[in-house]
A and B are shown apart, each in its own frame.
Chain A
Amino acid sequence: MNLTKKSGKKAQMELLGVAVIVVFLALGVYLVVKFNITQPQSNTKASYTSSQLSSNMINSIITTTTANCTNKDMLDILIDCADYSPAGSIICNSDGVYQNKSCEYFNATMNQILNNTLDAWGQSYIFNVTTTAGSSIQQVWSKSMGKCTGERKTGQYPFETNVKGTMLIRLDMCS
């Protein structure tokens, strides 16, 4: 009787030992998984590309000379559009009756540029041009593509307009 009790206790102790080993193994596996596998990998290139794209895109676009709008650059066209929205005052093309003014010209050119670049690459973005005079913010032009819920890389350039105060060109690249 006493011998059976002793042997039962020994079995319990062994089971406890097994349980301790299992717990340690599980802990080891958990730690390995946590620190090695689920660790978020820093994506240097994606981060660099997004931030470069957002600032270089705006910078290059505003420097670009218009193809057929009195040799003005895109920034002049945009400032004119912001000052005299919704149509603008610079007449780029005219066939007597119809006049292609700065806002329409800017919109068409931007669509062409963005269709050939960000849209073609499937890059999600929000492109916004606004003017701020006092407390009123007015939208001049905007275009967006895809969902923008995750991390963003923003490029923004402020410019002074002639009539409408400060104009802010902002491009958010979404990941």
Chain B
Amino acid sequence: MKLAKTLKKTKAQVRMTETIAILFVFFILLIFGFIFYSKVEVRNMQLQGSQIQDQKAVEVAEIFSFLPEIQCSKENIPAHNCIDIMKIDAFSSLIENKPEYQQYYYDQFLRSRITVNESYPDSSVSFVVYDQVPDKWTKKSSTQIPVAIYNATGDPTAGRLPYYAFGIVYIDYYS
């Protein structure tokens, strides 16, 4: 009677240990699965964030490329892929000196730095058109757009007529 009782108790203990072991393994697997899933999700979220930033950078580049304030125009018809150096000069000084314009263009260009560099004929010519680089940033997304830069005055000292130079617009978007 006593032996049967002891045997039954031992069997129950073994079953209990077995159940605990199974539960232990199950929870270990569950924890591993959760860690794996959360890592994948974090990675996906980072990629999504990066893609959103890239899209913003492209958006800023597009807005700047088609900005009527700086585009070349002939008889009021804007020329695509061409910027007027005199308009650029006026535009950058306007943004620099008037806070209300700074606010207006901040809505369009956000936290970015836009530079126009002439590559040919004179590679030393460079203009900073818009500069709102934040003090702290984690990622910079750069876009380059080749453009023709129109100089309506030419170079009177060298007797040069109005001309088109070849330049690059550098757009650095910060987040």
**A binding-site residues for B, Cβ under 8 Å:** 25, 28-29, 32, 36-37, 41-45, 48-49, 52-53, 56-57, 59-61, 63-65, 67, 71, 73, 109, 112-113, 116-117, 121
Contact = CB atoms under 8 A, between A and B. Distances in A.
Interface residues of B, number: 36
A44 B148 contact: no
Nearest to A59: B81
B97 to A, nearest CB: 30
A66 B105 CA distance: 34
B175 interface: no
A36 B143 CA distance: 28
Contacts of A48: 58, 61, 143
B51 A32 contact: no
Contacts of A56: 81, 145-147
Interface of B: 29, 33, 36-37, 40, 43-44, 47, 51, 54-55, 57-58, 61, 80-82, 119-121, 123, 141, 143-148, 160-161, 163-168
Contact of B148 (A45, A53, A63, A112): A63
A45 B58 contact: yes
B146 A60 contact: yes
A130 to B, nearest CB: 21
Nearest to B117: A116
Given A37-B40, A64-B148, A113-B120, A45 B143 contact: yes
Contact of B145 (A28, A37, A44, A52): A52
Contact of A113 (B55, B143, B144, B166): B166
Contacts of B145: 52-53, 56
A162 B145 CA distance: 31
B37 A64 contact: no
